[in-house]
Structure 1
Amino acid sequence: MVRERTQDVQEEAEKVQAILSSMADGVLVTDAEGRLVTANAAAEELLGFRWTDVAYQPVSRSGLTHPMWEHVAQMIRHPDQPGNVVVEFPSPVDDSPQIINARAAPIRLNHDIIGVVIVLRDITALKEVERMKARFIAGVTHELKTPLSIIKLHVENLLAYYDRLPAEKQMELLHTVQNQTGLLDRLIDDVLTLSRLDTVHEAEWQTVNLPELVGGVVEELRALAQARNLTLTWQASEELPVPVIPDQFERAVRNLVDNAIKYTPAGGEIQVAVRQELADDQPRIRIEVRDTGIGIPPEHQQRIFDHFYRVDTSHTTPGTGLGLSIVREIVNAHGGSLHVESTPGAGSVFTILLPLHTPADTERAEQ
Structure 2
Amino acid sequence: MNRSSRLNRAAQLPDARFICSMCDPVRPHPPKSSRGFNAANRSRSKPSAGAMCGSNLRRVNGRRSRIEARITCSSSKRRTEVEFRQKFLYVMDAPKGLQSVENLAVRRNLVLSSPHLSKFDAFIFQNNPVPLVISSTDTENPIVYEVNAAFSELVGFTRDELIGQSITQLGIAIPNEARDERIAILETQTRYRMREAQIRARDGRVISVLLSAQRSVYDGVPCDVETLIDLTQLRRTEAALHRSEAHRMAILEHVREVITQTDVKGIIQYISPASLDLLGYTSDEMLGRSGLEFVHPDDRAKVQSIMRAVFLTHMPAHRGLAEFRLLRADGQVVWVEVSGKPLRGSSGRVEHVITVFRDISERKQIESLRHEQEHLQIALQKEIELNELKARMMGRISHEFRTPLASILTSATMIERYGSRLSDEERSRKLQQIYTEIHHLTQLLDTVNLIVTRNSNLMIADRMEIDFDQLCREQIDQMQLQETQRGFTGENAHKFIYVPNAAFKSTCADPQLIRSMLQQLLGNAARYSQRGTRIWLIIDSHRRDDEEYIMIRVTDEGIGITPEDLPHIFEPFFRGRMIEESSGIGVGLNLVKDAVHAHNGAISVESEPNVGTTFTILLPHVPSPCP
- Give the shorter-chain TM-score range: 0.5 to 0.7
Q: After superposition, what is the alpha-carbon deviation per residue over 1:278-305, rounded to whole angstroms, capped at 9, x for unaligned? A: 2354321111111122222222222222
Compared CA separation, residues 295 and 122, structure 1 to 2 (3 A): closer
Q: After superposition, what is the alpha-carbon deviation per residue over 1:8-39, rounded to whole angstroms, capped at 9, x for unaligned? A: xx979754666999xxxx999999xxxx9513
Q: Secondary structure at the match of 2:585?
A: coil
User: 2:358 — aligned with what?
Assistant: 53
1:324 and 2:589 aligned: yes
Compared CA separation, residues 138 and 210, structure 1 to 2 (3 A): same
User: 2:392 — aligned with what?
Assistant: 139
Compared CA separation, residues 248 and 158, structure 1 to 2 (3 A): closer
Output the amino acid matched with 2:548: P
1:209 and 2:480 aligned: no
Q: How many angstroms does 1:274 deviate by?
A: 0.8
> Could you tell me how far apart the structure 1 residues matched to 2:574 and 2:441 are?
17
The 4+ residue runs of structure 1 with deviation greater than 4 A are 10-14, 16-21, 26-31, 121-132, 147-160, 162-168, 173-184, 199-202, 312-315
| Preserved contact between residue 148 and residue 180 of structure 1 (Cα < 8 Å) | no
Of the candidates 93, 98, 101, which is equivalent to residue 372 of structure 2? 101
User: 2:477 — aligned with what?
Assistant: 219
Q: Secondary structure at the match of 1:39?
A: strand
> Could you tell me how far apart the structure 2 residues matched to 1:101 and 1:328 are?
31
User: 1:242 — aligned with what?
Assistant: 507
Compared CA separation, residues 136 and 52, structure 1 to 2 (3 A): farther
Of the candidates 440, 445, 453, which is equivalent to residue 188 of structure 1? 445
Structure 2 residue runs without a partner (length 5+) = 1-288, 304-322, 338-355
| Preserved contact between residue 525 and residue 535 of structure 2 (Cα < 8 Å) | yes
User: 1:113 — aligned with what?
Assistant: none
> Could you tell me how far apart the structure 1 residues matched to 2:325 and 2:438 are?
57
| Preserved contact between residue 396 and residue 584 of structure 2 (Cα < 8 Å) | no
Compared CA separation, residues 265 and 156, structure 1 to 2 (3 A): closer
User: 1:254 — aligned with what?
Assistant: 519
What are the residue-to-residue correspondences of 1:32-71 with 2, within 5 Å?
Answer: 37-39=333-335, 52-54=357-359, 59=362, 64=363, 69=366
Q: How many angstroms does 1:234 deviate by?
A: 0.9
Q: After superposition, what is the alpha-carbon deviation per residue over 1:207-229, rounded to whole angstroms, capped at 9, x for unaligned? A: 32322222221122121245431
Output the amino acid matched with 1:38: V
Compared CA separation, residues 18 and 189, structure 1 to 2 (3 A): farther
Compared CA separation, residues 155 and 196, structure 1 to 2 (3 A): closer
Q: How many angstroms does 1:232 deviate by?
A: 1.0
Q: How many residues align?
A: 281
> Could you tell me how far apart the structure 1 residues matched to 2:517 and 2:467 are?
16
What are the residue-to-residue correspondences of 1:1-367 with 2, within 5 Å?
Answer: 14-15=296-297, 37-39=333-335, 52-54=357-359, 59=362, 64=363, 69=366, 100-101=371-372, 130-147=383-400, 184-197=441-454, 198-200=457-459, 204-226=462-484, 227-228=487-488, 229-240=493-504, 241-311=506-576, 315-357=580-622
- Relative contact order (alpha carbons < 8 A, sep ≥ 6): 1 or 2 greater? 1
> Could you tell me how far apart the structure 2 residues matched to 1:281 and 1:245 are?
23
Q: How many angstroms does 1:256 deviate by?
A: 0.4
> Could you tell me how far apart the structure 2 residues matched to 1:149 and 1:27 are?
61
Compared CA separation, residues 270 and 157, structure 1 to 2 (3 A): closer
TM-score (ref. length: structure 2): 0.37
Output the amino acid matched with 1:192: N
Q: Secondary structure at the match of 1:302?
A: helix
Q: Secondary structure at the match of 1:283?
A: strand
Compared CA separation, residues 28 and 182, structure 1 to 2 (3 A): farther
Output the amino acid matched with 1:262: R
| Preserved contact between residue 186 and residue 320 of structure 1 (Cα < 8 Å) | no
Q: How many angstroms does 1:330 deviate by?
A: 0.6
Compared CA separation, residues 209 and 174, structure 1 to 2 (3 A): closer
For the aligned residue pairs, the C-alpha RMSD in angstroms reads 5.0
- Report the identity percentage: 19
> Could you tell me how far apart the structure 2 residues matched to 1:301 and 1:325 are?
13
Q: How many angstroms does 1:336 deviate by?
A: 1.2
TM-score (ref. length: structure 1): 0.59
Structure 1 residue runs without a partner (length 5+) = 1-6, 42-50, 73-84, 88-99, 103-120
Greater helix fraction, Structure 1 or Structure 2? 1
> Could you tell me how far apart the structure 2 residues matched to 1:183 and 1:134 are?
26
Q: After superposition, what is the alpha-carbon deviation per residue over 1:174-220, rounded to whole angstroms, capped at 9, x for unaligned? A: 99998876655333321222344445557x21132322222221122
